Structure 1
């Protein structure tokens, strides 16, 4: 895989929740650390995602912020 985004994290699919239009995909990148992405339902099917399958979480953002109350 070659991609221009610099923030890609390899992990294992832990949970897939398919909705009417979108899908929530939870990927464990290290023990106990799970990142959940919302993607199109058709994209989830195209990627043939399954629980236990290896996948990459790719993060592309122009800003990352931190806030407190």
Structure 2
């Protein structure tokens, strides 16, 4: 797989929580950090996402907005 995205983080799926339309997939990265992705239930099925599966988070964002308390 070749991508134009610069941020590709390898990890392992630790949980998948189904919702009515979407699912929350938690990926654990090397070092123990975790990130959460919201994907369609169809994507979970098509990609075979379940606990223990190796997966990569591909991050391509044109904007990241930060906020601090007023």
- TM surpasses 0.5: yes
* TM-score, scaled relative to structure 1: 0.90
| Ranges of 4+ aligned residues in structure 1 off by more than 2 Å | none
CA distance in 1, matches of 2:17, 2:31: 21
What stretches of structure 1 of length at least 5 have no aligned partner?
Answer: none
Counterpart residue number, 2:34: 34
Residue 65 of structure 1, CA deviation? 2.3
Q: How many residues are treated as equivalent by the alignment?
A: 69
**What TM-score do the two structures reach when normalised by structure 2?**
0.89
Partner of residue 47, structure 2:
47
RMSD: 1.0
